[in-house]
């Protein structure tokens, strides 16, 4: 006698789904053809420079899985720069990374938890230093024909939102 039960031979993961009639009784339970949403990846990372390697690997895997390897070089460079610079500016605080394929472009957004400066001079100095630190990102995005920027995050997010747009 084998200690494990034999594997199930039906395709449905939900046992109730396999028992439903093919048509008629429950039209709201029938699967509907939906357009493929495209690449969507979101993750939260610790505010540590080593998180750049984790973000880079996650983005590389997502691009490969969705057939977007042609965008690997600029996207991986962009995610590495964004995470490394923002982790240095807000050490020990979480970073939120989002990568989406939408409207013929890859959109990469990183939110950090950098506190808002009340003094306008300090705010301008801090933003200037952030832009200077992202000089390599600016060069890569410009070479690819994309766009990038920095803005205060809108509620419910707090901190600073850095974004990159890479056309396909």
pLDDT in tens, 60-97: 999 999 999 989 999 999 999 999 999 998 889 999 99
Average pLDDT, whole number, for the chain?
Answer: 83
126-158 pLDDT, tens digit each: 889 999 999 999 999 999 999 999 998 777 767
* For the chain, domain boundaries: 46-167
**CATH of span 46-167:** 3.30.565.10
Which pLDDT score is estimated for 40? 92
Sign of the dihedral defined by the CA atoms of residues 19, 25, 31, 33, in that order: positive
Cα separation of 105 and 54, whole Å? 23
Let me know: does 67 contact 116? Beta carbons within 8 Å.
no
Burial of residue 86 (number of CB atoms within 10 Å: 0-12, 13-18, 19+): buried
Confidence of residue 24 (pLDDT cuts 50, 70, 90): low
- Cβ-contact 109, 162 below 8 angstroms: yes
pTM (two decimals)? 0.75
pLDDT surpasses 90 at 52? yes
């Amino acid at each position: 006698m084998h200690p494990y039960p034999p594997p199930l031979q039906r395709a449905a993961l939900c046992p109730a789904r396999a028992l439903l009639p093919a048509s008629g009784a429950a039209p709201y339970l029938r699967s509907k053809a939906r357009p493929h949403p495209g690449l969507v990846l979101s993750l939260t990372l610790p505010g540590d420079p080593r998180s750049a390697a984790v973000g880079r690997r996650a983005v590389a895997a997502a691009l490969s899985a969705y057939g977007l390897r042609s965008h690997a070089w600029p996207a991986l460079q962009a995610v590495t720069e964004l995470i490394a610079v923002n982790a240095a500016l807000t050490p020990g605080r979480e970073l939120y990374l989002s990568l989406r394929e939408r409207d013929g472009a890859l959109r990469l957004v990183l939110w950090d938890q950098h506190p808002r400066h009340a003094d306008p001079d300090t705010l301008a100095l801090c933003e200037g230093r952030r832009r200077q630190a992202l000089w390599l990102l600016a060069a890569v995005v410009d070479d690819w024909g994309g766009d990038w920027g920095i803005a205060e995050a809108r509620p419910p997010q707090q901190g600073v939102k850095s974004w990159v747009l890479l056309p396909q």
